[in-house]
Amino acid sequence: MDIADVHSTDFTEFDAETPLSKVAGAFEDRELDAVIVTDGGDYQGIVSRRQLAASSNQPSTKVGTQVRHVPRVDRTEDVREVARLMIGGDAKSLPVFDDGNIVGVVTADAVIDAVRPYLDAVTVEDAYTAELTSARPETTLGKALNTLRETHIAHLPVVDDGDLVGMVSLYDLIDFTTRDERKSQGGSSGGFGGRGGGSRSAGGPSGGFGSREGDVDRMLDLPVRNVMSETVATIGRAAPLDEAVEAMLDRGISSLVVTDESDDPVGIVTKTDVIEALTWEREDRRAVQVFGLDLLDEMSYDDVAALIDEVTAKYGEMTVVKASVQLQAHKEQTRGVPLVLARIRLVTDRGYFTADGEGYGASHALRLAANAIERQVLKGKTYRRSKKPVGPEEQRQLYGWWLGG
């Protein structure tokens, strides 16, 4: 299956000189995950909703200074390769090119919707992330925001004595703490919209906002119960994965809290988890995926795989479920060697680790990223919870037939 009928030719474009304040207005459309940035009509990169929401730049900052160089895909690219590029590039929207010209974008939602009929081959238990990262009702907004940023997630379930009582998203927190006086008289200011597991449109904030102009520091000391949505979408571990996708797409949310047989929260399943499921490989495929092999200068694929093994071996017993290495070259060069961004994403039975490294030449960038991963491994600092290794039967079901692989 390719993305010829999956990608959209309708996309939002801004010139590199456009101020961020104007770009932020485009994200009031809650269906928009990223915008295309061009310079004189030439493609430069993308700016995502999440990136802009977490940015501390001034509104007058030019959007061209914030572009991300995510992987490009051809309009006839295989959907599995697109999923791998989304995971490897940590992007939910990718630019689609035809004969060197940008012709559209492909989003994670579009990919998931296209393959939804085939996802009954596996269950939520095969894809969800266990060991739920959560907050308590009295957790401060500042601490919740820090948790979301450190763990690189966008939605934080709120649990009280084992009971799931709410959900707060990165966008809700930033919208609440940064809205101006004119928009603070109760309710949401719009902002970046609720894109977490529970949105305000689903059930409304439990505490209401009122008029709290005060400084940001005081607002960050408020408890999350003042902002959280009390309506939280859940799904059982045994449910088919297509049911989870249908629930997320129908409700306009990006995650579901996963519950056990006693309805206790035990994990979370997100759209990213579903996209990752599309990247499962046959057993005879390599566990380490490298995107941008052509940028490798002094290293081969085997050298990269050995580097990953060297890092994980320092932990002790650790099983690598998936290792993704993304290499992207910037225009900047020194002595003919390009500045390269290396992103390593490591999924293991002990947790999820991710780090970037930037240096002149792929080898230098990779070693910097590997050093950062190594420090995380030694400290046990995971960015998400552990995943169980995908068994051969699940691989056969999902990979072997439904995408014509």
The reply to whether 203 falls in a domain is yes
The reply to whether 405 falls in a domain is no
Check residue 201 and give its pLDDT.
35
Number of domains present in the structure of the chain? 3
CA distance 91 to 83: 10
The reply to whether 18 falls in a domain is yes
Written as tens digits, the pLDDT of the chain (405 aa) is: 788 889 999 899 999 999 988 888 888 766 788 899 999 888 988 998 877 776 667 778 899 888 888 888 998 888 888 887 887 777 889 999 998 889 999 999 999 998 888 888 788 988 888 767 889 999 998 899 888 877 777 888 999 988 889 998 887 787 776 654 334 434 333 344 444 444 433 334 444 434 444 455 678 888 999 888 888 899 999 999 999 999 999 988 888 999 988 888 888 898 988 888 887 654 434 567 777 777 887 888 888 888 888 887 776 677 777 787 888 888 788 888 889 988 888 877 777 788 889 999 999 999 999 999 888 877 765 444 445 555 555 544 444 434 443
Same domain as 315, residue 236: no
Q: Return the number of other C-beta atoms located less than 10 Å from residue 168's C-beta.
A: 30
The reply to whether 402 falls in a domain is no
The reply to whether 120 falls in a domain is no
Query: Tokens at residue 56, please?
Result: 């501390």
Give which of 247, 255, 108, 264 is closest to 168, Cα–Cα: 255
Cβ–Cβ under 8 Å, residues 201 and 194: yes
As a whole number of Å, the CA-based R_g of the chain is: 21
**For the domain that residue 40 is a member of, what is the CATH number?**
3.10.580.10
Same domain as 243, residue 137: yes
> Tokens 């988890």 map to which residue?
273
Same domain as 359, residue 302: yes
Query: Tokens at residue 254, please?
Result: 């990006």
**For the domain that residue 318 is a member of, what is the CATH number?**
3.30.160.100
CA distance 107 to 116: 14
Per residue in 335-356, is it b (16+ CB within 10 Å) or e — as a string? eeebbbbbbbbbbbebbbbbbb
Same domain as 238, residue 106: no
Check residue 193 and give its pLDDT.
41
Sheet holding 255-259, edge to edge: 129-130, 265-270, 255-259, 234-236
> Tokens 């690189």 map to which residue?
152
The structure's pTM equals 0.65
Same domain as 103, residue 47: yes
The range of the structural domain enclosing residue 152 comes to 127-276
Same domain as 251, residue 147: yes
Check residue 380 and give its pLDDT.
64
Q: What are phi and psi of 299, to 5 degrees?
A: -125, 155
Q: What are phi and psi of 398, to 5 degrees?
A: -80, -40
The reply to whether 85 falls in a domain is yes
Looking only at the bridges linking them, the beta strands covering 129-130 and 320-334 are unpaired
Tell which phi-psi region holds residue 280, choosing left (phi > 0), alpha (psi between -120 and 50) or beta.
beta
CA distance 174 to 191: 8
Same domain as 263, residue 158: yes
Check residue 200 and give its pLDDT.
36
Cβ–Cβ under 8 Å, residues 45 and 62: no
Same domain as 366, residue 346: yes
Query: Tokens at residue 361, please?
Result: 């030449």
The reply to whether 292 falls in a domain is yes
Same domain as 221, residue 295: no
